[in-house]
C-alpha cells in the first residue's frame, strides 16, 4: 500500500496496512540532534513525504553573539517584529502593526500567491510528483493567531467578546486573504488543507462556545467550503482544551484534528473521535513524557495510545515532532517504537 493511500484510509476510518506516521521537521530538534536525527528519520520512513527533504537547521551566524548566545529579530509577512531567544522556539512580539486602530485603513496584508506563470507551474508539477507516492497536506489557515499577533492579545479577546466593528473588519480581511491562499493550494494540487488556531488554555476555551460560534464559525465555514467542494480533506490544529467546540468542527466538515492529548481526560478524545468520525493526529506529550520521561515510559505511552485510539482500525496516525530538550534516548525510543508498531 502506498503511503498516500495509507493516510487516506486512516482518515476515512478504514484499516490501513500499517498505522501511518508523520514527522515534523522542527528546527529546534534538527539543530540540537543534527545528523543522527536525520539518519533516524531516514531509517523509519514516514507517509507524508521523504524525510530527506527536511533541511539541517541551524541559526544564521549573524544571530549568534561573541559569547555564543542566540538572539534573532525579524519582521514577518504580517508586519509583526518578533524576537527569538531559543532557536526554533516561538518568539515574542516587539512591534505590532495594529495596536492602534488608526493604522487599520492603511494596513497591508501579505501579497497574494500567483495562480499562473512559470513558478506556479513548477509548484504544481512538484505537488503532482509528491502525490504519486505521499499524502500532501499544505497551508496554515489561521484567523485568531493572526489577530493576536498583529494586535494586543487582551484587546483582541475583549473586542471579539463585545463585537467591535474594527475587529470584525480585520477578521474579514484576514479571511479574504486566506480565501486566496486556499484557491492557490487547490489549483496547485493538495490532498488536505491545514487550518490552525489555538483557542484553548490547558483547562478551557479562552472564550465561550457561543462567542466562538458567533465570531469564528461563519468565517471558517466560508473558508472550508471550497476545500470540501473540491473533495479535499480539512485538517485543524488546535492546542489546549477545546471540548466545547469540537462538535462544531465536526459539523463544519473537518476530517482530522491535531489536538493536545493531555488537555483532555484519559480516553475521552478517542471516544469522541470514533463517535464524530473525525480522525486524530496522535501526538505524544512533549513535556512530561518526552522532555522528562524515560525511554521505557515513551515506549509504553505509544503502545497505550495505539490501543486507546484503535489506530489499527483507522481514524488516526502518529505525529512525531522533536523539540529541543528531548534526551536523545527518548527520541530514539519514540521513533523506533513507532517503527516497531508499524512492523519495522
In tens, the pLDDT along 31-53 reads 999 999 999 999 999 999 998 88
The pLDDT of residue 8 is 98
Q: What is the pLDDT of residues 251-308, one digit of tens each?
A: 999 999 999 999 999 999 999 999 999 999 999 999 999 999 999 999 999 999 999 9
Full-model pTM? 0.96
CATH label of the domain that carries residue 309: 3.20.20.210
The pLDDT of residue 310 is 97
How many domains does the chain fold into? Answer: 1
* Segment holding 245, helix H or strand E: helix 243-252
**Domain boundaries, position 10:** 3-341
The pLDDT of residue 53 is 87
Residue 103 has pLDDT above 90, yes or no: yes
Mean pLDDT value across residues 85-109: 96
Burial of 191 (0-12, 13-18, 19+ CB in 10 A): buried
Task: Tell me the CA end-to-end span of the chain in Å, nearest whole number.
Answer: 15
Mean pLDDT value across residues 327-337: 98
Mean pLDDT value across residues 179-184: 98
Amino acid at each position: 500500500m502506498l503511503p498516500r493511500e495509507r493516510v487516506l484510509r486512516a482518515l476515512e476510518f478504514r484499516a490501513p496496512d500499517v498505522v501511518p506516521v508523520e514527522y515534523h521537521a522542527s528546527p529546534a530538534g534538527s539543530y540540537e540532534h543534527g545528523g543522527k536525527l536525520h539518519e533516524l528519520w531516514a531509517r523509519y520512513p514516514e507517509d507524508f513525504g521523504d524525510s530527506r527533504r527536511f533541511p539541517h537547521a541551524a541559526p544564521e551566524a549573524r544571530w549568534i553573539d561573541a559569547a555564543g548566545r542566540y538572539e534573532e529579530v525579524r519582521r514577518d509577512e504580517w508586519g509583526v517584529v518578533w524576537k527569538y531567544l531559543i532557536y526554533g522556539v516561538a518568539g515574542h512580539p516587539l512591534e505590532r502593526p495594529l495596536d492602534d486602530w488608526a493604522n487599520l485603513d492603511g494596513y497591508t496584508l501579505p501579497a497574494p500567491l500567483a495562480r499562473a506563470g512559470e513558478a506556479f507551474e513548477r509548484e504544481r508539477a512538484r505537488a503532482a510528483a509528491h502525490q504519486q507516492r505521499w499524502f500532501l497536506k499544505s497551508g496554515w489557515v489561521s484567523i485568531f493567531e493572526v489577530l493576536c499577533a498583529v494586535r494586543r492579545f487582551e484587546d483582541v479577546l475583549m473586542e471579539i467578546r463585545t463585537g467591535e466593528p474594527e475587529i470584525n473588519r480585520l477578521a474579514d480581511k484576514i479571511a479574504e486573504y486566506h480565501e486566496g491562499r486556499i484557491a492557490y493550494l487547490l489549483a496547485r494540487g493538495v490532498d488536505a488543507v491545514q487550518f490552525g488556531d489555538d483557542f484553548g488554555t490547558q483547562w478551557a476555551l479562552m472564550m465561550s462556545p457561543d462567542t466562538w460560534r458567533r465570531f469564528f464559525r461563519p468565517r471558517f465555514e466560508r473558508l472550508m467550503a471550497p476545500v470540501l467542494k473540491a473533495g479535499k480533506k480539512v485538517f485543524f490544529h488546535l492546542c489546549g482544551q477545546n471540548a466545547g467546540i469540537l462538535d462544531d468542527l465536526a459539523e463544519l466538515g473537518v476530517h482530522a484534528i491535531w489536538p493536545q492529548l493531555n488537555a483532555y481526560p484519559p480516553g475521552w478524545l478517542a471516544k469522541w473521535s470514533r463517535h464524530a468520525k473525525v480522525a486524530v493526529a496522535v501526538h505524544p506529550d512533549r513535556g512530561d513524557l518526552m522532555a522528562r520521561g524515560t525511554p521505557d515510559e515513551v515506549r509504553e505511552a505509544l503502545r497505550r495510545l495505539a490501543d486507546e485510539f484503535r489506530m489499527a482500525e483507522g481514524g488516526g496516525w502518529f505525529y512525531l515532532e522533536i523539540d529541543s530538550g528531548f534526551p536523545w534516548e527518548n527520541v530514539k525510543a519514540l521513533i523506533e517504537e513507532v517503527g516497531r508498531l508499524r512492523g519495522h
